[in-house]
Amino acid sequence: MVSISLSPHPVDTTRIRAAIQALQPDLVAWRRQLHQKPELGFREQLTAAFIAQKLEAWGIEHQTGIAQTGVVAVIQGDRPGAVLGIRADMDALPIQEENDVPYKSQHDGMMHACGHDGHVTIALGTAYYLSQHRDFAGTVKIIFQPAEEGPGGAKPMIEAGVLNHPDVDAIVGLHLWNNLPLGMVGVRSGALMAAVELFNCTILGKGGHGAIPQQTIDSIVVASQVVTALQTIVARNVDPLESAVVTVGKFNAGTAHNVIAATAQMSGTVRYFNPQFDGYFEQRIKQVVSGICQSYGADYKLEYYSLYPPVINDERMANLVRSVAETVIESPIGIVPQCQTMGGEDMSFFLQEVPGCYFFLGSANADKDLAYPHHHPRFNFDETALGMGVEIFARCVEQYCH
């Protein structure tokens, strides 16, 4: 890895801010265009075309069609040096938008309810700024990634070679975050976001008449015991100083008042920060389900999926982002290290390959009614955050590529 200087590298802060402030109207216009045309994972053709059109117009080297719809832009500095990656996700969610705004989603049943339209815009703004100000050493590779919301586009892009030719030395990414007010940045080293694992379980009992239970194996009773017992995994098997969650979010069984159900289905999720738990919860859930079913004479089918590992930030890269954010925000009070969340992100796959930092950029503004949570049908954010995001990325380039 290329060494990172911990002492601030002098930059022309006035020039950077003035250039980005002049770009702000364009950032807003791009974001609103993207917001009107949301697309689901691996279907981001219009979004990718919009990105490619801008990059082509600015004379920025780029490649399209990576992992189906991904785009990668490469911007060379004016002298040799390190390679810094910047990652932005592109996909929307299957949610019907309820906002009454001129730029409301035009695609029925889809909306940008998590800020990815802002992420693309910030990355585009950064690309434009860097193409006009190439007085940095090395190369910046901007990765526009599909399908973060599912089934996951980071791993396919890595497998397609986006971190190679030239090889990325470090990477940064941000998430607009309505859990923080505008003007705050959440950044920390170590675990920021949790691993995401899912399971589906079907309890196979024996149905019958509700008035003759001795002839049955009640799948609802068995499944209820499973739900209760699963809560003890965190309570009694995980160190209290660690953080983990086992949640059963779906439970379906039964057809009538007087019928004992033959089957019961449940689905849930597991979250944790410590990578050492990889594989542990799957094994423990199997033991709990198997043991309870055996004691009741029932059988089961269990499907378990490990989707994303935890997001683990490199300490030196987190320190770099923190120092840059303090310059942009101009107040240490605006930097929040207590920003962990059990939400998941496939930025984690990039951070497994190269050192980097993923951080939160506060985007909520309750005074403007822009504080609805992520994945809400009225999610929206303060667009002032767009310019702030571009400035943070531009200053990261100045500090890392020098």
User: Active-site residue numbers?
Assistant: 91, 148
Cα 276 from Cα 88, distance rounded (Å): 28
Written as one letter, the residue type at 171 is I
Calculate helix-pair angle for 13-36, 384-400, nearest 10 degrees: 130
Q: CA 324 to CA 315: how far, in whole Å?
A: 14
What secondary structure letter does DSSP report for 373?
A: P
Give the residue among 167, 170, 143 at the shortest CA–CA distance from 156. Answer: 143
Contact partners, residue 12, CB within 8 Å, separation at least 6: none
User: CB count, 10 Å around CB of 49?
Assistant: 14
Q: Which residues contact 62 (CB under 8 A, 6 or more apart)?
A: 51, 52, 55, 56, 71, 72, 73, 74
Q: Report the C-alpha gap between 37 and 15 in whole angstroms.
A: 33
Alpha carbons 346 and 154: distance in angstroms, whole number? 6
∠ CA 114-279-159, nearest 5°, is 60
| Sheet with strand 61-66: strands edge to edge | 61-66, 70-76, 137-145, 79-89, 170-181, 356-364, 185-186, 335-336
The residue type of 237 is: N
Q: Are strands 70-76 and 137-145 parallel, antiparallel or unpaired?
A: antiparallel
Residue 134: DSSP 8-state: -
Cα–Cα distance measured from residue 381 to residue 275, given in angstroms and rounded to the nearest whole number: 32
Rounded to the nearest 5°, which phi and psi values hold at 217?
Answer: -125, 105
Spatial distance between the Cα atoms of 140 and 394, rounded to a whole number of angstroms: 10
